[in-house]
Amino acid sequence: MLGWMALRAVMQAVMVVILARMLGAGAYGQLVAVIAAASFLSPFVGLGLSNMVLRNAARDPAHGHVYFMRALGWWKWTLLPCVVVAVAVAMVLLPADLPVLAAGAAIAVEVAVTSMTELLSRYRQAQQNMLAYGAINAGLPFFRLVLLVLLFAFVRDVAVVMVFWAYAATGLSYMLLLAYVVPARDGRDMDAADATEPMKAASGMPFSLAAFTTRLQAEFNKPVLAQLGFGLVGSYNAAQRAMDIVSLPLLAMQEALWPRLYAQADPLRQLRRSGTALLAIALILGGGIWLMAPMLPRMLGESFADTVEVLRWLAWLPVLQMLRSLLNFHAIHHGKMLRIGWVYSLGAAVNIVLVAVLVTRWGMRGAAMCAYLAELVMIMALVATCLRNHHDARNRP
């Protein structure tokens, strides 16, 4: 899987460089703001059941396809409402000087393809087929990179509206490919009533809220920054993408760990041991991000000079994100799904308030402050949950 993740990182890096040099900070910021609006609703397509597929199919692999088909059914029912809301949110939050039809098409396809990719990749991850998991997640960047390279090579002046349509076309093509490779039923005589793991429609909502909160933390600042100038959106996003790309090996190790932990009856000892190693790696990566920051404007162009400072502000955020993920698993292991939902709802509310106050006043610096503060709030809430779990376990007769 690490090979696929590395390939994906390289493709994303090349895409950022091509888009930045092709469009400049302002037009690139328009693209980023539109994709950010789409990302708010995609976690709710399928009601977060992709994560329940990961847990349940890892614990009960004989009925993995049953859990997958249940989640796929809810994906179909929830797709259209989420697309409509995502387009409406974009029209309300973003400035009016956008190509509405092209932006709407890009948003609709982005919501659909990212949620479908998440569902199918989680099913393969539950089977510990990490090669397929990595390939599915790398496919969409590959499709988009090929089309962007062609645009960059053969079109002299690329407008942002062309990139919107390119995103929509590649996303739709990849979604059709995913639909073709959706796994056939593993056993036609399989009885869903024999499945051992519960999977109600609402059971995945804490995961949806968790993903939504993460997206809010990373992306809600984009529409607010857009009101101050699309150039700020482009610069801030370029710094975020650079940080994400450098941190991708850490994400790969984290994603490889979860199914192994879910399959264990008592995973907490391994969680502590592996978690300590992952936190140490996150610290090392933070130092690397801080050191590489001055290289970014040289690759992207002079209009991205502000990215150096932003990247250094964000360099240590992966440490907090990793700590939150480890605490999140601890709560999942103890079955505190509802409490996780409340924790992430709190994080979302805090982030919205902080962005509205700090970003409008301090711009990109305020956006970085919001990211750290929202993470700290959620970590403290999850620590309180873990301490309560420990207290309950000690007092259990």
> Is there a contact between 31 and 235 (Cβ–Cβ < 8 Å)?
no
Mean pLDDT, the chain, whole residue set: 83
- What secondary structure letter does DSSP report for 339? H
Q: What percent of the chain has pLDDT over 70?
A: 92
Tokens of 157: 């002046």
Total H helices, total E strands in the chain: 17, 0
pLDDT of residue 373: 93
pLDDT of residue 376: 94
pLDDT band of 198, cuts 50, 70, 90: low
pLDDT band of 283, cuts 50, 70, 90: very high
pLDDT of residue 396: 56
pLDDT of 249 over the 70 cut = yes
Mean pLDDT of the 50-56 span: 80
Give the N- to C-terminal CA distance of the chain in Å, as an integer. 43
Flag the least confident range among 190-204, 327-341, 347-361, 368-382: 190-204
pLDDT band of 391, cuts 50, 70, 90: low
Mean pLDDT of the 48-57 span: 80
Mean pLDDT of the 52-64 span: 76
pLDDT of 223 over the 80 cut = yes
Residue 206 domain flag: yes
Residue 120 domain flag: yes
Mean pLDDT of the 8-12 span: 81
Flag the least confident range among 208-212, 223-227, 308-312: 208-212
Predicted confidence (pLDDT) per residue in 125-141, tens digit: 877 777 778 788 888 88
Predicted confidence (pLDDT) per residue in 81-98, tens digit: 999 999 998 888 887 777
pLDDT of residue 188: 46
pLDDT of residue 48: 79
pLDDT band of 360, cuts 50, 70, 90: confident
Measure the CA–CA gap between 215 and 309, rounded to whole angstroms.
Answer: 22
Measure the CA–CA gap between 76 and 149, rounded to whole angstroms.
Answer: 33
> Is there a contact between 185 and 49 (Cβ–Cβ < 8 Å)?
no
The total domain count for the chain is: 1
- What secondary structure letter does DSSP report for 294? G
Report for 158-162, 252-256, 357-361: range of highest mean pLDDT: 357-361
> Is there a contact between 19 and 148 (Cβ–Cβ < 8 Å)?
yes
- What secondary structure letter does DSSP report for 197? S
pLDDT of 383 over the 80 cut = yes
CA angle 39, 231, 318 (to 5 degrees): 50
The one-letter amino acid code at 143 reads F
Q: Which domain, by its residues, includes 67?
A: 2-187+198-395
Mean pLDDT of the 51-78 span: 80
Report for 10-19, 100-109, 142-151, 300-309: range of highest mean pLDDT: 100-109
| 292 three-class SS | helix
pLDDT of residue 112: 93
Flag the least confident range among 92-96, 171-175, 372-376: 92-96
Residue 192 domain flag: no
pLDDT band of 24, cuts 50, 70, 90: confident
Radius of gyration of the chain (CA): 21
pLDDT of residue 1: 56
Tokens of 171: 């996303």
Mean pLDDT of the 6-24 span: 82
pLDDT of residue 150: 86
Tokens of 72: 């796929």
Map tokens 């760990």 to a residue: 257
Per-residue H/E/C for 125-182: HHCCCHHHHHHHHHHHHHHHHHHHHHHHHHCCCCCHHHHHHHHHHHHHHHHHHHHHHC
Measure the CA–CA gap between 132 and 6, rounded to whole angstroms.
Answer: 14
Measure the CA–CA gap between 88 and 86, rounded to whole angstroms.
Answer: 5
Residue 193 domain flag: no
pLDDT of residue 180: 79
